């Protein structure tokens, strides 16, 4: 069995960012690192968006950014600036084309394309079994998300942010390329929290995505018919063709993923609970967590100490409790927030960066009863 200091399982967003951070840091040059990835990372399998103040680490890979967003509810129609933030979009393929060769070029990193089917911790190392072999790691960073422990508990509700998107090209100008539709709840909710998300790349090209925060996935045709009706209604039945598609489902839960970590096995990315429970946004937090993790290891701290509790998890939990109890509540919560508070403040809050005073402003903008009820049930 080949032995490594570190094994990174899965080379998606978290695996690649971690491998790059370890590979470029001279502190880790004496460490042997193995990356195990089942795929080739050669397709544009996702579009990552995040908001950021000013310039950032991914700017060279950013495909498009917007300073304005549109949010709509039952009554609300809001076009607003998000300055000092910009909403930035990166194509998965550009990210992979940049990071995969970079990671493979580090002298102390070995890249093996293989399917991992078991990770088990022994006394002296963690053993990783793959289709083609078995590897031992002093420490394993695992980004394969195992849904079972999350499903087999009922203390923390589990919703999903699920969506299907069409990249469309219209025959004539239809979109405003300076404004991204962040959440358009003006569509039928059918008992859930449903919204449209539109990223316009030009006047004739956009990603139009039908998104839900709910427990169960829909049939493919249900997402597609919702996109069809939306484009017909919102963009005056402009003729278009579908150039590409994407589908995603991101867990929304306050399940304590960190409880699965040990001294030798740390879960990263979605598997580590790095997705924001109340929104599904994961990418930017992953980039932050990777930096924190590398610093944590450099300081010789134990992996089980990596997790940090924060009051934002409590807010996330209350929102998920509200949506779990009444899944149609999302529209009124977000509509009320965006109606009463500045979009940049809401983004700061969703980024876990607000002060307690700012959080009180956000909380006071939300409908009171559902949150008080959720709070009561959590406390008693």
Smaller CB separation from ligand FAD, 13 or 323: 13
How many Å apart are CA 284 and CA 203, to the nearest integer? Answer: 27
Smaller CB separation from ligand FAD, 20 or 371: 20
- Among 6, 28, 33, 47, interactor with ligand FAD by CB under 6 A: 47
- 287 interacts with ligand FAD by CB under 6 A: no
* Residue 36: CB minimum distance to ligand FAD, A: 5
- 143 interacts with ligand FAD by CB under 6 A: yes
User: What 3 state SS string does the chain have?
Assistant: CEEEEEEEECCCHHHHHHHHHHHHCHHHCCCCEEEEECCCCCCCCCEEEEEEECCCCCHHHEEEEECEEEEECCCCEEEEECCCEEEEEEEHHHHHHHHHHHHHHCCCEEEEECCEEEEEECCCCEEEEECCCEEEEEEEEECCCCCHHHHCCCCCCCEEEEEEEEEEEECCCCCCCCEEEEEECCCCCCCCEEEEEEEECCCCEEEEEEEEEECCCCCHHHHHHHHHHHHHHHCCCCCEEEEEEEEEEEEECCCCHHHHCCCCEEECHHHHCCCCCCCCCCHHHHHHHHHHHHHHHHCCCCHHHCCCCCHHHHHHHHHHHHHHHCCCCHHHHHHHHHHHCCHHHHHHHHCCCCCHHHHHHHHHCCCHHHHHHHHHHHHC
Smaller CB separation from ligand FAD, 246 or 358: 246
* Residue 197: CB minimum distance to ligand FAD, A: 9
Smaller CB separation from ligand FAD, 246 or 359: 246
- 129 interacts with ligand FAD by CB under 6 A: no
* Residue 38: CB minimum distance to ligand FAD, A: 3
- Among 33, 103, 116, 320, interactor with ligand FAD by CB under 6 A: 116
- 39 interacts with ligand FAD by CB under 6 A: yes
- 227 interacts with ligand FAD by CB under 6 A: no
* Residue 92: CB minimum distance to ligand FAD, A: 8
- 277 interacts with ligand FAD by CB under 6 A: no
- 88 interacts with ligand FAD by CB under 6 A: no
Smaller CB separation from ligand FAD, 37 or 335: 37
Smaller CB separation from ligand FAD, 160 or 193: 160
Smaller CB separation from ligand FAD, 207 or 333: 207
Whole-Å CA distances, 186 to 197, 233, 248: 11, 11, 22
Smaller CB separation from ligand FAD, 116 or 226: 116
How many Å apart are CA 330 and CA 342, to the nearest integer? Answer: 18
- 15 interacts with ligand FAD by CB under 6 A: yes
- Among 1, 42, 83, 115, interactor with ligand FAD by CB under 6 A: 115
How many Å apart are CA 182 and CA 71, to the nearest integer? Answer: 6
Q: Which part of the chain contacts ligand FAD (CB under 6 A), choosing from 41-49, 59-67, 132-140, 233-241?
A: 41-49
Binding mask 234-273 for ligand FAD (x = CB under 6 A): ------------x-x-x------------------xxx--
Smaller CB separation from ligand FAD, 99 or 371: 99
- 139 interacts with ligand FAD by CB under 6 A: no
How many Å apart are CA 212 and CA 305, to the nearest integer? Answer: 34
Residues in touch with ligand FAD (CB under 6 A): 10-15, 36-39, 46-50, 115-116, 143-144, 246, 248, 250, 269-271, 281-283, 286
């Amino acid at each position: 069995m080949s032995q490594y200091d570190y094994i990174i399982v899965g080379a998606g967003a978290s695996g690649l960012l971690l491998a790059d951070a370890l590979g470029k840091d001279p502190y880790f040059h004496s460490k042997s690192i193995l990356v195990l990835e089942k795929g080739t990372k050669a397709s544009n399998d996702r579009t990552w968006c995040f908001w950021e103040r000013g310039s950032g680490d991914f700017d060279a890979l950013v495909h498009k950014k917007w300073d304005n967003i549109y949010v709509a509810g039952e009554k609300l129609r809001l076009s607003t600036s998000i300055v000092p933030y910009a909403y930035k979009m990166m194509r998965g393929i550009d990210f992979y084309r940049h990071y995969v060769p970079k990671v493979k070029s580090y002298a102390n990193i070995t890249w093996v394309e293989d399917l991992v089917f078991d990770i088990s911790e022994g006394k002296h190392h963690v053993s990783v079994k793959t289709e083609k072999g078995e590897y031992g790691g002093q420490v394993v960073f695992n980004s394969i998300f195992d849904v079972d422990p999350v499903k087999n508990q009922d203390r923390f509700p589990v919703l999903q942010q699920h969506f299907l998107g069409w990249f469309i090209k219209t025959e004539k100008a239809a979109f405003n390329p300076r404004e991204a539709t962040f959440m358009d709840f003006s569509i039928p909710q059918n008992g859930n929290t449903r919204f449209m998300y539109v990223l316009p790349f030009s006047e004739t090209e956009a990603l139009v995505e039908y998104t839900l925060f709910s427990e169960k996935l829909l049939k493919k045709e249900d997402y597609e018919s919702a996109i069809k009706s939306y484009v017909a209604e919102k963009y005056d039945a402009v003729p278009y063709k579908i150039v590409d598609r994407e589908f995603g489902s991101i867990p929304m839960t306050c399940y304590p993923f960190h409880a699965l970590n040990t001294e030798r096995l740390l879960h990263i990315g979605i598997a580590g609970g790095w997705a924001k429970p109340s929104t599904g946004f994961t990418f930017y937090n992953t980039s932050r967590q990777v930096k924190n993790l590398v610093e944590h290891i450099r300081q010789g701290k134990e992996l089980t100490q990596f997790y940090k509790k924060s009051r934002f998890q409590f807010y996330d939990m209350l929102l998920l409790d509200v949506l779990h109890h009444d899944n149609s509540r999302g529209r009124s919560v977000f509509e009320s927030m965006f109606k009463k508070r500045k979009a940049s403040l809401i983004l700061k809050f969703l980024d876990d960066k607000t002060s307690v005073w700012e959080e009180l402003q956000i909380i006071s903008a939300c409908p009171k009863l559902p949150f008080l009820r959720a709070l009561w049930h959590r406390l008693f």
